[in-house]
Chain A
Amino acid sequence: MGNKKGISTRGEEIRSYWGFVLPGFIVYFVVMAFPMVFSLFLSISNYNGGSLFGNVRNPLKFVGFKFYEKMFKDPYFYLALKNNMYIVLISVFGQIPLGFMFAYILFRGLIKGKDFFQSIIYLPCVISTVVIGILWKSFFAPNGAFPELIRIFNPSYVPGVSAHPMFKVLFVILWMYTGTYLIIFLANLQKIDTSIIEASKIDGASEMQALRYIILPALSGVIVTSMILAISGSLKSFDLIYVMTSGGPAERTSVLATYMYNKAFKGAPNYPLANAISTVMVIISFALIGVTKFVEKKFGGRE
């Protein structure tokens, strides 16, 4: 090697390739690739801690779909699933339209102070969810500010157990993440050639028509991407609920992620059940993304 300058040897290529790829891939394998597969394995086993093999009292066995059955019989699973779906709905039909509306207003230059509004609306997204969760928890607390604010309008208001505890959570989720979609839409709106819009205006098109026939078609891809992001993000939601309500009162704000966490890390661990839940979460997430892609193919002609 090295006798002929200027001619690359395959040997060096192979050595460099693995030298570049392996350090990262080993970490990735240990932390993500292996756990992904191992999670499936756990969900059909009876493993509950201790050494994996050679555990005499409780030898490792495959129990098939026993824990999936157990999960599907648990009413709390459906409660968590329902709450997760509320979050999906508020994300897709709340955050995305609102984010789009703000982005559109700022993009069209209808108002001054674009940077200011953008920065403020995005601000909640950069703050730690833990801080936000505790802040809103105190805000809504019986001795917090929310009852005080209500009393300005309704002096006889007495805070009690809410009939719909998810409302508060959904409100905070809407408050937190709308800015993300504002940023995504604004960045992509700015790629549109404004001269086309101006030309259509000269030809007598109204603002609405420009929106309907020029801007929305150009953004259809981004809208679908945002929906996928919103759906997978909604199914992941954990931090906020864990901090703000920890699923309470009486599990009525629990979501699949907190439900899973409780099974694995609260009290006696039930790893198989926890992994059955997470597997179902992944399946639901892929299914919803699949539906979104399907709808896009069927109805949304891109360009």
Chain B
Amino acid sequence: MANIQDNKSLKSRLGLFAVYFILAIFTILAIYPLIWLFMNSFKTTTEFQLNKLGFAQKPTFINYQDAWVRGKFPMLIVNSVLYTGITTIMIILLSFMSGFAFAKIKMKSTKVLHGSYVIGLLMTLQSIMVPLFLVINWMHLYDTKLGVLIPYIGIGLPMGVYLATEFIKSIPDALIESARLEGAKYWKIFISIIFPMGRPVATTIAILTVTGTWNEFMLINILTSSDANKSLPVGVQKFAGALSSDFGKQFASLVIGLVPMLVFYMIFRKEITKGVAAGAVKG
């Protein structure tokens, strides 16, 4: 931008230096703990006690091998992929279906139904924690994968429905009316017009759902008890949280726990930042 040229005076040079300085400090602060974590995941516990801040003198992979097997990470990762994948697909599909009906089919019930989703948008998850736990128990879904998936889908729907409805409202009515005049049924319009046009919003919903579901901890922690149904965060918490003195192994499992999201972030950085900004407009 143009103002770099007029920043020639000593005062603004000092200002610029201060700006760089502040940013540098925060960048180091943001990343140092993660680097520290990574460095120490290659140390044995003995080495960690002698050398807590520096690089590993004799880097070892034993922590990773150990954690990978004992922490049951392959299973946890498969579960997390399953939970996140199914939840995301279902939320996109159901949000678009509801959004289409709310935006393009005139019905009196829309006001109540759409309104109740908006209330859900404002609700804190804690306020439904206990009742949801009871409902899942009554449905005999406690500690099952379905008993995790159904809540995940329901909780993501308010945001999805809201974003999808807003988007579909912006599609011109004429487009749908002309298809109707040609005799197209609503489900056909949905598949051939609405869904293909909705890609940008579907991406936003997907990003918000993936990051939210992958990292979700509170609900799955109370809704599951056996290892076979746990996700990566709960698994990491149960396994690594208990290793209070075996730092090397603990750090290795934390690194395993954060790598999938880190890779996802590196690939979809642009989409993620756009999705976060879009998700915040609700107010």
Contact = CB atoms under 8 A, between A and B. Distances in A.
A82 interface: no
B30 A175 contact: yes
A120 B277 contact: no
B157 A260 contact: no
A225 B281 contact: yes
Interface in A14-38: 14, 16-17, 19-21, 23-25, 27-28, 30-36, 38
A186 B187 CA distance: 39
Contacts of B261: 126-128
Nearest to A282: B127
A118 B26 CA distance: 11
A261 B53 CA distance: 36
Nearest to B190: A20
A180 B53 CA distance: 29
Interface in B49-100: 49, 52-53, 94-95, 97-98, 100
Among B26, B180, B222, B245: residue with most chain A CB under 10 A:
B26
A228 interface: yes
Contacts of A130: 215, 217, 233-234, 236-237, 241, 257
A21 B98 contact: yes
Interface stretch (A68-76, A136-144, A153-161): A136-144
B30 A27 contact: no
B30 A32 contact: no
Given A32-B128, A149-B53, A278-B127, A24 B94 contact: yes
Interface string A233-269: 0011011001100000000000011001100110000
B157 A236 contact: no
Contact of B131 (A39, A129, A175): A39
Interface in A272-302: 274-275, 278-279, 281-282, 285-286
B135 A34 contact: yes
B77 to A, nearest CB: 13
A104 to B, nearest CB: 10
Contacts of B120: 28, 32-33, 36
Interface residues of B, number: 104
A105 to B, nearest CB: 6
Contact of A17 (B29, B94, B105, B258): B105
Contacts of B52: 144-145, 148
A13 B105 contact: yes
Contacts, number: 282
B276 A30 contact: no
Tell me if B's interface is mostly helix, strand, loop or mixed.
helix
Interface string B107-129: 10100010011011011111111
B32 to A, nearest CB: 10
A264 B269 contact: no
B127 A6 contact: no
Contact of B154 (A14, A28, A235): A28
A198 B2 CA distance: 8
Tell me if A's interface is mostly helix, strand, loop or mixed.
helix
Among A8, A31, A226, A281: residue with most chain B CB under 10 A:
A31
30 contacts: A20-B101, A20-B186, A21-B98, A24-B94, A28-B157, A31-B150, A31-B153, A31-B154, A31-B155, A32-B132, A35-B128, A35-B135, A36-B120, A119-B269, A120-B30, A121-B30, A123-B34, A123-B262, A123-B265, A124-B30, A130-B241, A131-B233, A131-B257, A134-B241, A135-B251, A183-B276, A198-B2, A257-B126, A264-B129, A281-B127
Interface of A: 5-6, 8, 12-14, 16-17, 19-21, 23-25, 27-28, 30-36, 38-39, 42, 98, 101-102, 105, 108-111, 117-131, 134-136, 138-139, 141, 143-145, 148-149, 175, 179-180, 183-184, 186-188, 194, 198, 201, 207, 221, 224-226, 228-229, 232, 235-236, 238-239, 242-243, 256-257, 260-261, 264-265, 271, 274-275, 278-279, 281-282, 285-286
Given A117-B23, A183-B273, 8 more contacts: A8-B180, A13-B186, A27-B153, A32-B155, A127-B262, A139-B33, A264-B133, A278-B128
